[in-house]
Amino acid sequence: MTLLDITNLSLSIGAFPILRDVSLSVQTGEILAITGESGSGKSLTALAILRLLPRCTQVTGHLHFEDQDLLAMSEAQMCDLRGGQIGMVFQEPMTALNPVQTIGAQVMETLQQHSTLSRAEAREEARRLLTRVGLPPDRFPLSRYPHELSGGQRQRVVIAMAIAMRPKLLIADEPTTALDVTTQAQILDLLRDLVHDYGMGMIIITHDLAVVADLADRIVVMRKGEVVETGSTPQLLAARRHPYTERLFAASKHRPTLPARPPANPAQPPLLELRNVVKDHPLPRRHLLARAEHLRAVDHVSFTLHPGERLGLVGESGCGKSTLTRAILGLEPCQGGEILLHGTPIDPTGLTAQQRRKMQVVFQDPFGSFNPRHQVARLITEPFHSVTDAPVGQERSDLVAETLRAVGLTPEDAHRYIHQFSGGQRQRIAIARALITRPDLILFDEAVSALDVSVRAQILDLLAELCTAYGLSYLFISHDLHVVRSMTDRCLVMQSGRIVEQGLTEDLFADPQHPYTQRLIAAAPVLPDLQTGAA
């Protein structure tokens, strides 16, 4: 039975066409994947189904949900439909949840809005729903707030809200983009089970073909607001007829070629050395006279990074990767151990100006790490603000132009603002900011996790080129095991604040020894082989 039927859907915002003659359908009990690069129109197609569009939007075509014409329905009718018969899981759970309401109250709100349940009945149903999505009340009380949960746990709350009324159609917009591989696998298994148990149809929107290779029944590929290819998942992955689909597939499996690592000099001290580093986070007191308690986020971590080495750090969300990064950058004091850069200890109160010049960082969200009021020339020279011998005048302008060219941009981009660039270009600017002081070490903190596969491939190629041109040494922190395998010589695996396994990257991935490493690698999504179509 056809649950959703979209025929020749076109959408424009003001004078700008966004969607052009989009046609697709979803059957009851079917999982349909919509994939494509950022800006291809995937999310706007989902928002058009829910009629969550700007006022200046013009929509034409046919959009039917069962026997209902969605484009002809009133806003009051759509309000009954949203959350009742059509559920939505948004990409970023922290923005989809109300930070000042408990998770129990937010699930109960959906139930009370679309049913006649009493408050007590809604509370009991909320308990059942949260248990169904893996958040049992004995471990995750309904009184918790969103900020007290991890990213994967928050996404489970959003899923509980979306399925509260057992909708006939569930739309999941990039539900696993920012999640680590094991949490991602759990969320995908949960969505598959919900479709099977409730008999609903589902649309999953993603830019990564590997995520839906084993999940979706059919795949729709979108590019620049148009559907360029559609078919059953095995058929489409085995015979990619459109060149764009072929490029997406190749980008998902892309592995850049890194230059050979220079041999380590035994007489030279490591570039970065950690000795039994300990970092505790204080926990709130249970009551006024209770003893102060702490959560150990980093537990006696030790490792070295030598000049010219590319070191990877992987682990689930909450394992301590980001806390360790902040400690290395001198942003948070440690409770024990020692961190040395070029053999010189990093002061617990922060890095010196010289140390900051030698060590830079590239953050996960490039847009959020820039001041939108400043032009690129000022943004990428921010590392010079803490040094006394920074170049000035023409020398500074020449250095900005040279650095922008090194990351694949033009000197004229120095006079533009950050909002005028795409996501991939912003990440190039973030890399330019890290490069401009010619640092000895760069920390990449989930630097490509939010990028679509084609842009990610471009950034990885750029890093490989910079390794050749500048002999980069870096610590690459990521939950994407495919990327870490491509970009590092040696890899560390972190679990619950400890390094549980380390070794040469290829050896570690080919023959993992620790059970946790084995689970991580087994959970990573894998595309079928390009030639044979076999997994």
Three-class SS state of 267? coil
Q: Give the length of the chain.
A: 535
- Quick one: pLDDT at residue 178? 67
For residue 160, what are the contacts with CB-CB under 8 A and spacing of at least 6? 107, 126, 129, 130, 132, 133, 135
Q: Which two tokens stand for residue 435?
A: 């490069």
- Distance separating alpha carbons of residues 286 and 344, to the nearest angstrom: 40
CATH number of 2-85+167-252: 3.40.50.300
Q: Do domains 2-85+167-252 and 272-282+293-522 have the same CATH topology?
A: yes
Question: Hey, CA dihedral for 359, 365, 369, 374, is it positive or negative?
Answer: positive
pLDDT in tens, the chain (535 residues): 789 999 999 999 888 899 999 999 999 999 999 999 888 899 899 999 999 988 889 999 999 999 899 999 999 999 999 989 999 998 778 778 999 999 999 999 999 989 889 999 999 999 999 998 888 988 889 999 998 887 778 888 999 999 999 999 999 988 887 677 888 888 888 889 989 988 899 999 988 888 888 899 999 999 999 999 999 999 998 888 999 999 988 888 888 888 888 776 777 789 999 999 999 988 777 777 778 888 888 999 999 999 989 999 999 877 888 889 989 988 888 899 999 998 888 877 777 777 888 899 998 777 778 899 999 999 999 988 877 778 888 999 999 999 999 998 899 999 999 988 877 788 889 999 999 988 999 999 888 876 788 888 888 898 898 888 888 899 999 888 888 999 999 999 999 899 999 999 999 999 999 999 999 999 888 887 644 444 3
Strand order in the sheet with 68-69: 16-27, 2-13, 57-65, 68-69
CB 507 within 8 A of CB 501: no
Question: Hey, CA dihedral for 156, 161, 165, 167, is it positive or negative?
Answer: negative
| CB atoms closer than 10 angstroms to residue 274 | 23
Q: What is the crossing angle of helices 151-162 and 119-132, to 10°? A: 130
CB 331 within 8 A of CB 356: no
pTM of the model: 0.81
Q: Is 285 exposed, middle or buried (0-12, 13-18, 19+ CB in 10 A)?
A: exposed
Provide the residue ranges of all domains of the chain, joining segments of one domain with +.
Answer: 2-85+167-252, 97-164, 272-282+293-522
- Distance separating alpha carbons of residues 132 and 155, to the nearest angstrom: 13
Planar angle of CA 424, 364, 213, nearest 5 degrees:
70
Q: What are phi and psi of 366, to 5 degrees?
A: -65, -35
Strands 226-232 and 310-314, sheet pairing: unpaired
Nearest residue to 342 via CA among 352, 327, 332, 331: 352
Q: Which two tokens stand for residue 302?
A: 């030790």
- Quick one: pLDDT at residue 533? 42
Which fold would CATH assign to domain 272-282+293-522? Rossmann fold (3.40.50)
Helix H or strand E segment including 189? helix 181-198
Planar angle of CA 503, 508, 510, nearest 5 degrees:
150
- Distance separating alpha carbons of residues 206 and 337, to the nearest angstrom: 42
Q: Could you write out the DSSP letters of every residue in 29-73? A: T-EEEEE--TTSSHHHHHHHHHT---TTEEEEEEEEETTEEGGGS
- Quick one: pLDDT at residue 502? 94
